[in-house]
Chains A and B, each alone.
Chain A
Amino acid sequence: MTDFINALTQDNLSYLLQGLGITVAVSLLSIIISLILGSVVGIVMFEKIPYFSSLVGTLNNIVRNLPLLLIIFFSYFALPQIGIRLPVFWSTVVAMSFFEAAMLSEIIRGGLDAIDKGQFEGARSTGLSNRQTMTHIILPQAYKKMIPPLISQLISLVKDTSLASGVVLADLTFRGQVVYAQNSHFIVPVLIFMTFCYFIVNYLLSLLAKHLDRLLA
């Protein structure tokens, strides 16, 4: 118990909470970017354009089947070798957006597939163009259906930012390691505190997902 009090001094606590802020910022930025990218890729895969869609699908599959940790390391350590040099925050955002876009595109394709084909024909017969049908009729419905899986993806994002501590992103996990480098008695208290932070953020998100699910059903 005294370890707890010693470990979580005001300075250490605010240092850790700032780390949580970075964790959340990386997650939010990545989900927004990957939602845009993922939508484009998802629509391409849904449209089943001969050759093109299956090529994109294969590339997408390759990205999805790599460990995120590898992509994070690659983006920070390997990209500078071809002259792309990003600060660790942005290199993490790039890596996570790239990976998550591949995950999200599958969700989006699935969401689009689940929408009744009749709707396309109906909308087109009222004189809407292909693109109008997509943006005004189909996508809004697809996004609505996709909100719960999107939130669960956001939860994995929040969890996965912890991997970036390996490239010294000053997120919650890295800062925890810094705090217990002061004294190894701090390890357990700090780990418990970090667990608590991640759990609260993610549990609230999962409650939100449940709530929205009920609201939209």
Chain B
Amino acid sequence: MEKNKKRLFGMVAALLLVLFLLLLGFWAANRAHENKRHQDTLERVKKTKMIHWGVKTDTKLFGLVNTKSGQSEGFDVDLAKALTKQIGKQLGLELTPSFTPVNASSKVQLLKNTNIDGVMAVMTITKERAKVVDFSNPYFPAGNALLVRKDSGVQSIKDLNDPSKTILIALGTTAADTVKKEAPKAKVLALQDYASAMQALKAGQGQAIVTDNAILYGLVAENPDYQVVGGIMGYAPYGIAFDHNQPGMVKQANQALESLEKDGTYNTLIKKWFSQVPGLDLSQLEVQS
């Protein structure tokens, strides 16, 4: 009798657990569906009086953590602060910026998941990405370039169009497309971040790094044995990314960006960060009025 009771109890409990798990599954599927529904970023910003920006932690000149403050510092961060203030002015609100560290592979995920409102993290505007996020107007003129050892003899990416060559890129960047177009025969190795890519280049795991010119200049500043060759492959400027279908937020950001370019704030920030890069002509970056 006792045994039968226990058996019955076990069966009921097991059934309840299965039922619970099934319900959980349905709930999750439902929530996933609901969550794909539109959420207005601008409304959220107005309500919370904050703009959450995703910024880099390991990219010199754009977003590198200062270990004293624990905060990212760089052109992206300063521009995001200025934009937050400007957007606040436009909306007649006092907005506070907040910064969340992102890496190349997590930035769009976090945007989609609405952990952050905007991404200001050396992100190139591409058609492919524009299908899943909204971009502001370009905020920084960038393009892919090639970094090689000074004594390597490589003059352009065409020299690497060979199955015996490996080109290094960072995960989730546009470099993959550039390499596919310019050197389709070369092998490609995608690494977690630029520091790993630089390390891999030094270790001889590849013959070159392909990534944005501005980032390569940051690497050259630290590694004088290396140089940028072959010019810029395609103009591929950086943009601020927002979640998909956010015309309100994008309009505010574009308007704010234009104001900052007009009142000279933009050029001041360019000077602040890029005058330290050897071999970079600042007038290429500054906005001409």
Q: Which residues of A contact B (CB under 8 A)?
A: 9, 11-12, 14-16, 18, 49-53, 55-56, 77, 80-83, 85, 167-168, 170, 175, 177-184, 187
Contacts and interface: CB of A to CB of B under 8 A. Distances in A.
A52 B14 contact: yes
Given A80-B115, A85-B114, A177 B101 contact: no
Contact of B101 (A12, A81, A168): A168
A195 to B, nearest CB: 18
B68 to A, nearest CB: 4
A85 B100 CA distance: 14
Contacts of A50: 6-7, 10-11
Interface of B: 6-7, 9-11, 13-14, 17-18, 27-28, 31-32, 34-35, 57-60, 64-68, 70, 101-103, 106, 109, 112-115, 193-195, 198-199, 202, 222-223
Nearest to A44: B13
Give chain A's interface secondary structure class.
helix
A80 B113 contact: yes
B57 A178 contact: yes
Given A51-B10, A55-B18, 13 more contacts: A49-B6, A52-B17, A55-B14, A82-B28, A82-B32, A168-B103, A168-B106, A177-B193, A181-B60, A181-B65, A181-B195, A184-B222, A187-B199
Contacts of B113: 77, 80-81, 85
Nearest 8 CB-CB pairs, A to B? Answer: A80-B113, A15-B67, A50-B10, A181-B58, A51-B14, A82-B31, A52-B13, A49-B10
Nearest to A91: B115
Give chain B's interface secondary structure class.
helix
19 contacts: A11-B66, A15-B65, A16-B67, A50-B7, A50-B10, A51-B10, A51-B14, A55-B14, A77-B106, A81-B32, A85-B113, A168-B106, A170-B101, A177-B195, A182-B67, A184-B195, A184-B198, A184-B223, A187-B199
B9 A49 contact: yes
B73 to A, nearest CB: 11
B268 to A, nearest CB: 24
Nearest to B54: A168
Contacts of A14: 67
A79 B54 CA distance: 19
A184 B199 contact: yes
A26 B68 CA distance: 23
A70 to B, nearest CB: 15
B9 to A, nearest CB: 7
A168 B105 CA distance: 11
A11 B70 CA distance: 9
Contacts of B7: 50-51
Contacts of A170: 70, 101
B222 A55 contact: no
A85 B64 CA distance: 26
A81 B29 CA distance: 9
